[in-house]
Structure 1
Amino acid sequence: MANGSQGSRQAAWEFFGAELKRRRENAALTQVELGARVFVSGGYIGQFEQAIRKPQPDVAQRIDEVLQTDGFFERTWRKLIDDKRYADYFAAVVELERTATKICEFAPTLVPGLLQTAAYTRAVTLATSPFATDAYVHDKVAARTERAHILDDATRPEYWAILHENVLRVPVGGHGVMADQLAHLIATARARRVLITVIPCAAGAFAAMAGMMTLMEFDDAPPTAYTEAVYSGTLLDDPALVKRMRGTYDLLRVAALSPEASLALIASAAEDYRRCTSTT
């Protein structure tokens, strides 16, 4: 997304926060009092009002109920968060990525979206939507490419990715696509824009059983976690759950190879795909 679009979106969230503050004060409620009624902390209400953090849809609904605003905050939330290029359960994650100072991901089967090449994204999209129109596929690829621009910015987040070796071995899109995708991982890591490590298959059951996860940290907001299954995703900000997921991520990090050994394994896999391409 262009910087102008990001600025407009942020301005819209600032309007959301200002309107929340105005209507809360009109109802003679403190941030703590409103927070208690919608089941979040008063600090969260303050972060919503300052546009530091975006509420979840159920929180926006409860705010409408408490402040008797006839669905204003839910409708505004949906308008701001709505982007048809993303699944409903993922749109809020995209918003959070844009303000995160640190992102840590574990990918058990596929390359994380922020690290995908356009050809890899296209292959994933066609695999999950074999009857999709060209326009649909184009929009999905463009959206994922746009997301990845946060790693190009001078203010990019610190980004860690732990990949299970399965990610390197599943030939998404064919040998040529995989060779280019793995070369992209190496180049991005060598440019010191990201830190990538790989958990080898020999690491055993724990790493093989762990599910996809994303952990995000922010300057002025509590950390958040995200997990995803088939056609569903869950954004978590409960401190106890986020702490447990951080513990799981730490165990995965211990099981991973060093960054240099990881890049060597990725390079070896890329070379294998190159050889397969040259012989077909």
Structure 2
Amino acid sequence: MAYVGGGPGVLDGVASSEPEVSDGLKSFGAVLKALREEAGLTQEEFAPQVRYSVHAVAKLEQGKRFPSVRFIERAGTVLEAPRVLKAAARHLTRRQGLASWFVQWAGIEEEAISLYAYECRAIPGLLQPEAYIRAIFERRLPPVTEEQLERETAARLERQQLLTQKPNTAFSFVIEQALLERRVGGVGVTRALIDHLLEVGKLRNVEIQLMPLQQEDHAGVDGQMYLAETPDNQWIGYTEGQRSSTLITAPKDVSVLLQRYGKLRAQALDCRATVSLLEHMRGAL
């Protein structure tokens, strides 16, 4: 997604995959660490109280992860400093390397216990290997600088850690076969993409389904969609346009998306058939 699909975190061959650290994130992290230490808590003691991993808390204190609204609320309560933390986060309007209009969904993504995606424009960002990410960014108009390319690639790769860091979150992806047939970036990039999809598809919490080129009954004619189930078991929808996005929260509208996504899963190839098709496509390259 632009940022989820062709784009909705990466690294060059040798550099770190960590996103660039902004002054705002570093400042928030420093405040968080100072409050935690003042409360007499270690990261290991603090993490379970805010329902985050120790690794995630460390990233937040280092300024390498964007704090979600839910985290700020929980941490403020635990540390008895809600106003201080909210003030520290007030100017964090965007995450490094992510479009400003995508940041809110990125936060929802991190908290989701179920995440569904249907893409007809580009491979979902959470499933893009580095070669594919770079192929997309290198062809973007207006052209990006080398610094922008590295920063945005790193941000997308960092987001992909959700797939392994959240083993209890169910991820479902329905992807149009045509996106692979397009061969963005050439044969080498497409081969790397297929290999990546086959590997990620082995994860117990990830389901990848291809929508075949020919499908007379197709529920996705209105375009791509993303759906997330919050820890409170509420569903939120998300769609993207040209340099814009829409968050869908009205229950009746979210219900429509859930119905359509359910139909898309039934119309697409199942996971085993998808693996067979991917292997066949790779062999034909």
Aligned to 1:143, the other structure's residue is in SS state: helix
> Alignment partner for residue 253 of structure 1, among 265, 271, 277?
265
Q: For 1:226-245, what aligned pairs fall within 5 Å after superposition?
A: 226-245=238-257
TM-score w.r.t. length of structure 1:
0.71
Q: Is the Cα contact below 8 Å between 1:163 and 1:197 reproduced in 2?
A: yes
Aligned to 2:115, the other structure's residue is in SS state: strand
Aligned to 2:121, the other structure's residue is in SS state: coil
Match of 2:72 in 1: 12
Match of 2:193 in 1: 181
Aligned to 1:202, the other structure's residue is in SS state: coil
CA shift at 1:211, angstroms? 1.0
Flag the 1:270–1:210 CA change in 2: closer, same or farther, 3 A. Answer: farther
Q: Distance in 1 between matches of 2:281 and 2:111?
A: 34
Flag the 1:223–1:207 CA change in 2: closer, same or farther, 3 A. Answer: closer
TM-score w.r.t. length of structure 2:
0.70
Q: Is the Cα contact below 8 Å between 1:222 and 1:237 reproduced in 2?
A: no
CA shift at 1:81, angstroms? 4.4
CA shift at 1:202, angstroms? 0.9
Greater fraction of residues in helix: 1
Q: Is the Cα contact below 8 Å between 1:164 and 1:207 reproduced in 2?
A: no
Is it true that 1:123 corresponds to 2:123 in the alignment?
no
CA shift at 1:79, angstroms? 2.4
> Alignment partner for residue 98 of structure 1, among 100, 104, 110?
110
Residues 139-189 of structure 1, C-alpha deviations (whole Å, 9 max, x = no match) = 111001000001111545210000111122111111101111111101111
Is it true that 1:271 corresponds to 2:275 in the alignment?
no
Q: Distance in 2 between matches of 1:17 and 1:226?
A: 29
Q: Is the Cα contact below 8 Å between 1:12 and 1:80 reproduced in 2?
A: no
Q: For 1:137-148, what aligned pairs fall within 5 Å after superposition?
A: 137-148=149-160
Larger of the two Rg values belongs to structure = 1
Root mean square deviation of aligned Cα: 2.8
- Relative contact order (alpha carbons < 8 A, sep ≥ 6): 1 or 2 greater? 2
Q: Distance in 2 between matches of 1:16 and 1:225?
A: 28
Q: For 1:179-218, what aligned pairs fall within 5 Å after superposition?
A: 179-204=191-216, 206-207=218-219, 209-218=221-230
Gaps of 5+ in 1: 24-50, 52-72, 274-280
Gaps of 5+ in 2: 1-17, 19-54
Match of 2:171 in 1: 159
Q: Distance in 2 between matches of 1:191 and 1:78?
A: 37
Q: Is the Cα contact below 8 Å between 2:220 and 2:260 reproduced in 1?
A: no
Q: Is the Cα contact below 8 Å between 1:13 and 1:80 reproduced in 2?
A: no
Match of 1:69 in 2: none
Q: Which amino acid aligns with 1:266?
A: L
CA shift at 1:103, angstroms? 0.3
CA shift at 1:191, angstroms? 3.4
Aligned residues: 223
Residues 20-43 of structure 1, C-alpha deviations (whole Å, 9 max, x = no match) = x989xxxxxxxxxxxxxxxxxxxx
